[in-house]
Amino acid sequence: MTSQVPCYTIINSPDMEVPNEMQLKQELEKGDTNVKIETLKKVIKLLLNGERYPGLIMTIIRFVLPVQNHTVKKLLLIFWEVVPKTSADGKLLQEMILVCDAYRKDLQHPNEFLRGSTLRFLCKLKEPELLEPLMPAIRACLDHRHSYVRRNAVLAIFTIYKNFDWLVPDGPELIASFLDTQQDMSCKRNAFLMLLHADQERALNYLASCIDQVHSFGDILQLVIVELIYKVCHANPAERSRFIRCIYNLLNSSSNAVRYESAGTLITLSLAPTAIKAAASCYIELVVKESDNNVKLIVLDRLVAMKEHEGMEKVMQDLVMDVLRVLAAPDIEVRRKTLALALDLVYSRNIGEMVLVLKKEVAKTHNVEHEDTGKYRQLLVRTLHTCSIKFPDVAATVIPVLVEFLSDTNELAAADVLIFIREAIQKFPALRALIIENLIEAFPQIKSSKIHRAAVWILGEYVEGPQILEVIAAIQQTLGDVPMVEAEQRRLTGEQSNEEQQQGNANSAGDGSATQGSGNASNKVTSDGTYATQSAYSLAPVAKAEKRPPLRQYLMDGDFFIGAALSATLTKLALRYGDLEPEARAQNRLTTQVMLIMSSILHLGKSGFPSKPITNDDTDRIFVCLRALSERTPEAVSVFTQYCREALGKMLDAQADEDQRVLKEKQRATAKVQPDDPVLFAQLSNGRDNQLGENVFESSLNQALAGNKTAQQLSDVASPNSKLNKVTQLTGFSDPVYAEAYVNVNQYDIVLDVLIVNQTNDTLQNCTLELATLGDLKLVERPHPVVLAPHDFCNIKANVKVSSTENGIIFGNIVYDTALNTNVVVLNTIHIDIMDYIIPASCTDTEFRQMWQDFEWENKVTVNTSFTDLHEYLRHLLKSTNMKCLTPEKALSGQCGFMAANMYAKSIFGENALANLSIEKPVDDPDSKVTGHIRIRAKSQGMALSLGDKISSSQKQSVQAA
C-alpha cells in the first residue's frame, strides 16, 4: 500500500438512514447537550462506516469542543481518532491546529479524569505535527498528584518515544528518574515496562537497586520483572546468577499469575534439580489452591510437559504424593489427568504410598452418589489395575479392595475389576488362592448378570483342589433349589394356599360358583368394637415382590446366556474334580449333581415360567456340556481343561504386544536427535541455542497462533509452502477486483486474511468485504470499508467463530463505489474442512460398544473405490478421516477376502465419532475392486453427515486419480 491506514476503535452499529450534512450541522449548532451527544454518536458511526463529512470539522470545533460535558469530551476523543486529519495531498488540515490547542488545555485541566483520558487518546495519534506542541504539557503530567494521570502520561511518552523518538529524545532518562520517585504500583509498572522495551540497561540497573524488595511489589510490576529477567537471561546466560534468586523469591508471591510465570521462567533458566523441584511444587500448589477448573487443567498440562522432559522426570518422581493431592478437586477431567500423570511418575519406592492414597479415595466413593462418581470409581479401578500389573508386589494389597467393587451397582467399575482379576490370576500364579478366596466370598453379593457371568468363568477356569466343592456350593446357594421347575411350581402353589388361608377358607371349591353373585366377604373390627363388612371385590389384589436368589432371577428374566456359562464352568469343575478324587463314587456324585443343575436349566427354559424362553444357541451349548460329562472323550476334556486357558493367555499376550507397539511408536515420535543432525559444540554456540530449555514465550505464542497442534505441525504451519497450500482464490484474474484468502484454522475460530487488488484505473470508494456463513460458523465482526487507489491493494482480516465439528461454507461478495455507480463482485465459496477439528483417539472395546449403542445418528457410506487391496483401502481411509483404528494389527493381518474394523476419533470440542468398516473382495480375483460399506455414528447429525461427506469426497478423488 502507498500509505498505512491506522486501525481505529470499531463500534458496531445497526443499519441506519444516512442523514445529510446540513441536518447534522443544525443539530450540532442549535441542539442542547443531549442532542449534541446523540448527533456526535451518529457522526462517529457514519465515519466508521466509510462516510466522509469534511465540512463538519469546523462546526464541531466551534460548537461542540467548548462544551464541558464529560460524555461529550469522551465522544470527541473517539471522533478526533477516526476523522481524517490530512487533506488529499497528505498535508495536515489547518483546523487541526485549533484541535491541538483544545487538547493542550485539556492536558492542563484540573479534572484528573479529563487529563488521563486525553493522554490515552494521544497514544493513538500518528501525526507528529499534532504531538509536538503538546509535549511540554505531557511532561508536566508526570508530576500530577493523581496516579491515574501519571500512569497514562508514562504510557503516552512510551508510545510517542516508540513511534517518534525525536519528539522525546531523553524519554528513557526521564522515565528512569520518574521511576525512582514513584510509590504507586501501576505507575511503576508502566515506567518499568517502557524501560524494558526502550532501554533495558536502565531497567536492569533499577532492578539491581531494589532486587531485595521485589517480593513486596504489586503483582502487575512483578509480572514485568519476570519478563525482563527471562529476556535478559536468554540473551546473556551469564546474568542468570544475578537474577535466579529473585525468580526463586517470586515463586512465593501472593499472586497466582506471578507464581505461574516465575515457575515457567525458572525451568527455562535452570535445569538444576532444586529449580525443577521448586517449579513443579509451585505448579502443584497452584492446581490445589486454584478454584477454576480451566486453570487447573492448564497447569496440569505444564506438569505433563515437564514430565516428558528427560532431565526433569527423575526429579518429579519424588513429587507423586503431592500430585495426588489434586484428587480433592471434584472435576472428573482434572482427576483423570492427575491419575495419568501420577501413574507415569510412580516408581517402586513410592508405589506403596500411592496405593494407600488410592485405596482411601476408593473408600470415599462408596457412599457418595454424585454425577461423576461412577466414572471416578472406574478411573481408580483402572489406575490400581495398572499399578498392580507394573508393580506385582502391591497386587496382594490391591485385590481385596477391588473385589469389593464387584457388588457395586455401577457395572462399569465392576467390569473393570473383573478384567483386572482375569489378568492378575493369569499372570501371578502365586496370588491365585487369594483371588479365588475373595471372589467366592463376594460371589453372592454381585448384582449384575454380566459380572456374575465373568466371575463364574474365572472361578471355573482357575479353581483347584478342595476349593472346587466350595465354588459348587456357592453356585448352588445363588441358584436356589434344584430342580428349578418343581421349586417354581411349589412357590406358585404355596402362594395360592397362603391366599386361601388369608381369606379364612370361607369358600370351598364346590360352592364357589354359587357364592360368586353375592361376592366374598371378610369381617373387620372397627374402632368402637362393632363388626364392619367389606366386599372382596373392592380390594385390589397386591402383587408380592418375589425374592429369588440372583442366578435364579436372571434365568427367570430370560437371560439364559448365564445358564450356558454356568454349564461350561460346572463341566470344567466336574472334570477337574475327577482328576483329583480317586474314588469313583464321589466323582459320580458330583457329576450327577452338576448334570442335574444343567438339565434343570434346560427344563426351566422350556417350561414357560421365565419371561423369555431359552434360545437354541444356549440349548446347544448346555447339551454339549452334558454330553462331554457323560462321554468324557479326550478331545472334549482337553478343550474344557486346557484350551480355554491357553486362549486367554494368547489374548493377554496380544494385548501386551499391542501396548508395547504403541509405546514404541510414541518413543519414536519424540526422538530428539536424528542421525544426520549437526553436532552442537557448546564452545562455538552464542549461548542462545538449546541451552536454557524450552523458550516459554515462543512456545506459548505458537500455541496461541496454532491451537493445540504438535511441534511438527507448528513447523508445517510456519513453512511458506503450507501457507501457499491454504490460499483460496475468491475472484477471477479478469475481474475488476481480484481477491484471494489465506485461511488459517485455529482451535475455536477461523482467520481469513483476504488480499484485495484494484485492477482498474479508477479509485474504488467504500470497498467492503461482505461475508456470510453456512453451518455452525458465525462471523465475529464486519470488515471495515477501505478506499483503494488505482492498482492499489490491501489486506483485510475477518474472524469466524466455530462452535461444533461439521463442514462449513463461507461465501459473500465485494461491494465498491466508483464515480458512476455501485458494483458487486461475487466471491468463490470457501469450504471449511471437518478434518481441521478431528484428532485420532483411542477407547476400550466396551466404551466403543456403549457409545455405538447410545449415539442416535448413523450415516452409511457405500465403498466406491479403485483400491484392490483391503489393507491399502483401510490405510487410505484412516489418513483421509484422521481416525484411529481400534482393531489390533494382528486381527487384521492375513488375506481372507473380508475385513471388519472399528475406528474412533475425537473432535477438539469433545465430540466423539465412531466408524465401522466392513469390506470384502473375492480372494480368487486379485484385480477386483474392494466393495462394502462404512457406518458412521455420532451424537450430532452434523458430525455424522460431515464425516460421511469427507469419506465420499476422498473416494471420488482416489477414483479420479486412478
DSSP 282-348: HHHHHHHH---HHHHHHHHHHHHHHHHSHHHHHHHGGGHHHHGGGGGS--HHHHHHHHHHHHHH--T
pLDDT at 557: 87
pLDDT tens string 289-302: 888 888 888 888 88
CA distances from 370 to 332, 395, 415, 910 (A): 11, 29, 20, 22
Element (H, E) at 777: strand 777-779
Alpha-carbon gap, residue 501 to 503, rounded angstroms? 5
CA 916/CA 918 separation, integer angstroms? 7
Rounded Cα gap, residues 785 and 616, in angstroms: 76
Q: Give me the amino acid identity at 786.
A: V
Which pLDDT does position 394 carry in this prediction?
85
- Residue 326, CA atoms < 13 Å, CB-side half-sphere: 33
Helix (H, G, I), strand (E, B) or coil at 640: helix
Residue 828, SS3 per DSSP: coil
Rounded CA separation 251/247 (Å): 7
Distance separating alpha carbons of residues 397 and 359, to the nearest angstrom: 10
pTM across the whole model: 0.64
At a CB cut-off of 8 Å and minimum separation 6, what does 229 contact? 207, 243, 246, 247, 265, 269
Q: What CA–CA distances, in Å, run from 272 to 320, 427, 612, 692, 693?
A: 19, 41, 69, 11, 11
pLDDT at 506: 41
Collapse the DSSP code of 664 into the 3-class scheme (helix H, G, I; strand E, B; otherwise coil) and give the result.
helix
Long-range CB contacts (within 8 A, 24+) of 950-958:
950/807, 950/833, 950/834, 950/835, 950/880, 950/881, 951/861, 951/877, 951/880, 951/881, 952/861, 954/876, 954/877, 954/880, 954/881, 955/863, 955/864, 955/865, 956/864, 958/865, 958/866, 958/867, 958/876
Q: Which letter does DSSP use for residue 684 in this model?
A: G
What pLDDT shows up at residue 518? 40
Q: Beta strand pairing status for 521-525 and 531-535?
A: antiparallel
Q: Specify whether the CB–CB gap between 679 and 614 falls below 8 A.
A: no
Q: DSSP letter string over 25-87? A: HHHHHHS-HHHHHHHHHHHHHHHHTT---TTHHHHHHHHTTT---HHHHHHHHHHHHHS--B-
The pLDDT value recorded for residue 772 is: 87
* Eight-state DSSP code of residue 12: -
Work out the burial of residue 662: count CB atoms within 10 Å of its CB; fewer than 13 is exposed, 13-18 middle, 19 or more buried.
exposed
pLDDT of residue 6: 55
Positive or negative: CA dihedral 280, 703, 951, 948: positive
Residue 567 and residue 631: Cα distance in Å, rounded? 16
Q: How many CA atoms lie within 13 A of 602 on its CB side?
A: 17
Q: Are 458 and 437 in contact (CB under 8 A)?
A: no
763 within 8 A of 787, measured Cβ to Cβ: yes
What nine digits make up the cell of 359? 485405596
Sign of the CA dihedral with 660 first, then 666, 672, and 675 last: positive
Helices and strands of the chain, counted as H and E runs: 41, 18
State the Cα–Cα distance between residues 76 and 40, nearest whole angstrom. 8
Residue 253 CA to residue 780 CA, distance in Å, equals 38
Q: What is the largest CA-CA distance in the chain?
A: 124
- Alpha-carbon distances, residue 713 vs 302, 705, 708, 758, 765 (angstroms): 19, 12, 10, 35, 41
Q: How far apart are CA 646 and CA 657, in angstroms?
A: 16
Low-confidence ranges of the chain (pLDDT < 70): 1-18, 50, 88-90, 367-371, 408-411, 494-546, 665-674, 677-725, 747, 805, 959-962
Burial of 51 (0-12, 13-18, 19+ CB in 10 A): middle
DSSP string, 442-464: HGGG---HHHHHHHHHHHHHH--
Is 186 exposed, middle or buried (CB count within 10 Å of its CB: 0-12, 13-18, 19+)? Answer: middle
Q: What angle do CA 938, 940, 943 make, to 5 degrees?
A: 70
Nearest to 6 by CA among 863, 852, 784: 784
- Segments of 552-647 assigned E as strands: none
Contact 717, 707 (CB under 8 A): no
Exposure string over 341-362, b if 16+ CB within 10 A, otherwise e:
bbeebbeeebbeebbeebbebb
pLDDT score, position 16? 58
> HSE-up of 73 (CA within 13 Å, CB side)?
21
The residue with cell 466323582 is 587
